[in-house]
Amino acid sequence: MPDSLKKLIESLKYLPGVGDKTAQRYAFSILDMPKEQFDFFLDNVSNIQEKIHLCPICNNLTENDLCSICSDSLRNKETLCVVEDVKSLFLFESLGIFHGVYHVLKGLISPLDGVNPEDIELDKLIERVEKENFKEIILAFKPSVEGETTALYIKKILGDKNIVISRIASGVPIGADMEYMDSMTLERALLDRKNLE
């Protein structure tokens, strides 16, 4: 196998979940791409790391000074949605149901994995909350020990300010069969039950 092909296969294995066989399949498909497609592909890969940086306000990805959300004057600047990563932000945005602004953490606190509040840059969130005038902070973390820990930590630090701190609901997903739910989800669904009005 030519050396350059071997190296291409090696570098494709940097992609998550890509092993030897898949990397080889990808390498062959890159080799076989029509010139135009290959150029588009290469062009898009080549400057991506230079072009994109984090929004200095919220950590969203952006090509400009501020991200498209922070620079949008129509967004409600009094409601902040805190997410664990930019993927969650994109997910919420794709729904088009949230009109406030975001703050992207660098993950969730996980003492077992040695991830402490400073590792996820919680201080940046706290500074921001102190400077801006939020009325509500929605914590949109996944329901897990890490999500729980991070939520409790934020509540502890920001709880004494005059800001509503809420957490997205957790329970049985719409359309799911009860029998396939784990006990923690059912317990949470029961605890967080809502009165019918």
**What are the residues binding a second copy (CB under 8 A)?**
1-5, 7-8, 10-12, 14-17, 24-31, 33, 35, 37-38, 40-42, 44-49, 51-52, 61-63, 68, 86-87, 90, 93
Task: Name which of 102 and 134 has its Cβ closer to a second copy.
Answer: 102
List, in sequence order, every beta strand (DSSP E) within the chain: 53-54, 61-62, 79-83, 101-104, 136-139, 164-167
Task: Name which of 89 and 154 has its Cβ closer to a second copy.
Answer: 89
In the complex, minimum distance from the CB of residue 123 to a second copy, in angstroms, rounded to a whole number:
22
In the complex, minimum distance from the CB of residue 192 to a second copy, in angstroms, rounded to a whole number:
29
Task: Name which of 1 and 97 has its Cβ closer to a second copy.
Answer: 1
In the complex, minimum distance from the CB of residue 86 to a second copy, in angstroms, rounded to a whole number:
8
Which residues, other chains included, contact 149 with Cβ-Cβ below 8 Å and sequence gap of 6+? Answer: 108, 109, 110, 111
Q: Let me know: does 107 contact 119? Beta carbons within 8 Å.
A: yes
Secondary structure class of 31 (helix, strand, coil): helix
C-alpha 164/C-alpha 70 separation (Å) is 21
